[in-house]
Structure 1
Amino acid sequence: MQTAVEAVVFDLGNVLIRWHPHAAIAREVGPEQASAFLAAEDFDFLVWNSRQDAGRGWAEAEALAVASHPHWERAIRAYRRHYEHSLLGPIEDTVTVLEELHGHGIPLFALTNWSAELFPHARERFGFLDLFEDIVVSGDEGVAKPDPRIFATLARRAGRDLAACVFIDDSPRNVAAAREAGMDAIHFTDTGHLRGDLRRRGLPLAPA
């Protein structure tokens, strides 16, 4: 028998907010160099960035990266300097789902891998973030998905059994970790399926 849903938990990046580092880096080094940097075999941008999501400060991160990869210094520093351009805008269909759930009084939470220093950019720009009762930001907690400790933090902050929460994330690793933590988790691949996935769980959304 399916547990009644008490709350819905959203990831933010590429679920509610389109994000890609290329636009920020290209502001300083141009699109071709930005693409080369992000595809570089000698520097893994996503792994490096994930350390900031887990709490490392940006000044330290940039200093270490520039020391080990001085030929990429402009691209490394460009990302944070022009960070607002990496936030490409809301994913409107998902925002509509969020707003409908809020309108029906469904408790809403967010669990996001995001640098504590950079998350204020999203707070200032996207008013729909105010619909969440709480947002767990990995950079503030010093631990990021898929580490099970951040799901324990979510349970404490939400004040609910994770088995009664539905989690939505675009990362298969994070979805698997959420399920391991006891959550019902939806792998978000596009906006087309999400409304139906939530309706099948008994949530009061209009048909597509």
Structure 2
Amino acid sequence: MPPWLRWAGDLPATVVFDLGNVLITWDPHPAIAAAVGPDRARAFLTGDFGFAAWNHAQDAGRSWDDGEAAALETHPHLADEIRAYRQHFDLSMVGPVEGSVTILRTLAAHGVRLLALTNWSAELFPRAVERFDFLSLFEHITVSGRISLAKPDPEVFHRLAADAPVDLLGTVFVDDSPANVEAASSVGMDAITFTTPGQLARELALRGLPVPTPAELGEPRT
């Protein structure tokens, strides 16, 4: 039986959202480009420095002072790029994913329980809370940097379950990373790989959850 069949007519349900590139568009390029220009920023992000793995370590609990120190030791010639990301971090939060926020508000209005599980540095996450008021709609947000565990480690989902608390079995989870979705599925969550707000709305509707109309999402008529 598909997990979503268990949701029909059984509200309020629980939906767990990832934040970056699901509800908040995140792109490190503008932050780094603010200090070194777009070409150097692009080279830094696509070169052999390994930005994704370095940033993930901070998401998993390493302090930014320690992270920058480690990077400067191995890549001193990239000092400006390394320091730029934290210094101009606000520019990496490009803006809300408006359609997804509309979905979130609709779920909240219908009494659906809302949780969030995000890979985010503990030091930098407060900037998101200050900027995006819709984060207050979540009953609980598990921030990876605060618990020193990050997706796709399956243990992070068990930590969410203990802290929220919530039964993972059948809980709907939304993330743009296939690896994170696979990890969520492995612990029994009904996981959806996010691509667009319209696609997410259709997936949630299949599970019997209330969603905005295509017009409310700004989708063109077909």
TM normalised by structure 2 equals 0.91
Q: Percent identity?
A: 56
Equivalent in the alignment of 1:24: 31
Query: Which residue identity lines up with residue 132 of structure 2 in the other structure?
Result: F
After superposition, where does 1:31-180 map in structure 2 within 5 Å?
31-41=38-48, 43-180=49-186
Give 2:209's aligned residue.
203
> How far off its partner does 1:39 sit?
1.1
Q: Number of residue pairs matched?
A: 207
1:132-184 CA-to-partner distances (Å, cap 9, x unmatched) read 00000000010100111110011112222111310000000000000001000
Once superposed, which parts of structure 1, at least 4 consecutive aligned residues long, lie more than 3 Å away? none
For residues 164 and 188 of structure 2, the distance between their equivalents in structure 1, rounded to whole angstroms, comes to 14
Give the aligned partner of residue 220 of structure 2: none
> Once the 2 structures are TM-superposed, how far is the Cα of residue 204 of structure 1 from its aligned partner?
1.8
Q: Secondary structure at the match of 1:136?
A: strand
CA contact (8 A) 2:103 2:212 kept: no
For structure 2, list consecutive stretches of 5 or more residues without a partner in the other structure. Answer: 215-222
Q: Where do 5+ consecutive residues of structure 1 fail to align? A: none
Q: Note the alpha carbon deviations across 1:52-93, whole angstroms, 9 max, x for none.
A: 000000000001100100111100000000000000000000
CA distance in 1, matches of 2:157, 2:195: 21
Task: Please tell me whether the aligned partners of residues 16 and 117 of structure 2 are also in contact (alpha carbons under 8 angstroms).
Answer: yes
2-structure distance, mates of 1:188, 1:33: 30
Cα contact 1:3–1:163 (8 A) shared by 2: no
Q: CA RMSD in A?
A: 1.0
2:103 alignment partner AA? V
Q: Distance in 2 between matches of 1:30 and 1:61?
A: 22
How far does residue 30 in structure 1 lie from its aligned partner after superposition?
A: 0.5
Letter in 2 for 1:134: H
8 Å CA contact 1:28–1:78 kept in 2: the answer is: yes
Does the residue aligned with 1:167 lie in a helix, a strand or coil? strand
- Separation in 2 of the partners of 1:11 and 1:75? 27
Segment drifting more, 31-40 vs 126-135: 31-40
Q: TM-score, normalised by structure 1?
A: 0.97
Q: Contact 1:108 / 1:132 at 8 angstroms: preserved in 2?
A: yes
